[in-house]
Amino acid sequence: MVNFIWLFFIAASFVAAIMNGRMDALTEAAFEGAKSGVTVSFGLISVMVFWLGLMRIGEDAGLLRKIAALLQPAVRFLFPDVPKGHPALGYIMSNMSANILGLGNAATPMGIKAMQELQKLNPHKETASAAMCTLLALNTSSITLVPTTLIAIRMTYGSANPAEIVGTTLAATLVATVAAIAADRWYRHRYNRRPPTTIDRDGPAFRDSLGPQGPPGAGAGGRGEGKGEAVV
């Protein structure tokens, strides 16, 4: 879907430039955008390498393990349906620790591994489980103590005080995280209190619930004719 959106923007810009006779401006903007992209990328590389190096030092010194230990009660509260000691919890705590330190790139691999482990616990493989939705909500809103990427971008563009956004970023991500957790709790509560669902009389769940005699009107172990719904 994202590819189609970008294709639409590119095609629309070409059409608008042709209709307005501004192809020269479009060409200039394309080259300037490419140049800016390379410049910003180099700025991000230097800062990300620096912070990833610090994170590795902190990891070897046991800092991430201490943060993970502090996060463990919160993780158990947020993910009550994940068994204690399951590998998913370790990946979740590592992911949250990296996000708190503003290292989104470092958090991504841990988040992917956590999702893979949660999928193994998911009884309905075609639908995201409650734990998977919780993890996605936390990744989207994650509390950030040091917005590394934003600081790097501000440094690249010559900000006088690149780190002045730390306070406002912390407040914004705190509000976003509280809202995400509140929404997650509300949807979990609503899901647990949902009314009985209906199933197909010819479905395996309905047949299994009736035992070997099958639906009404059928022989021993047979199936009745017709189709209907039953409340379970």
pLDDT digits (tens, 9 = 90+) for 9-64: 888 888 888 888 888 888 888 888 888 878 777 767 776 677 667 767 766 777 76
Tell me the residue length of the chain. Answer: 232
9-18, 87-96, 167-176, 178-187: range with lowest mean pLDDT = 87-96
91 contacts 68 by C-beta, under 8 angstroms: no
Question: What does the mean pLDDT of the chain come to?
Answer: 76
Radius of gyration of the chain (CA): 26
What pLDDT was estimated at residue 223?
Answer: 45
Position 209 confidence tier, pLDDT thresholds 50, 70, 90: very low
Rounded to two decimals, what is the model's pTM?
Answer: 0.58
In 3D space, the residue among 130, 148, 137 whose CA is nearest the CA of residue 176 turns out to be 137
Q: What is the pLDDT of residue 21?
A: 85
Which residue ranges make up each domain of the chain? 48-192, 200-231
Over residues 81-105, the mean pLDDT reads 80
Q: What CA–CA distance (Å, rounded) separates 58 from 229?
A: 58
Banded model confidence at residue 194, pLDDT cuts 50, 70, 90? low
Inter-residue long-range contacts of 35-38, CB under 8 Å, 24+ positions, other chains counted: none
Please check the confidence at residue 119 and state whether its pLDDT lies above 50. yes
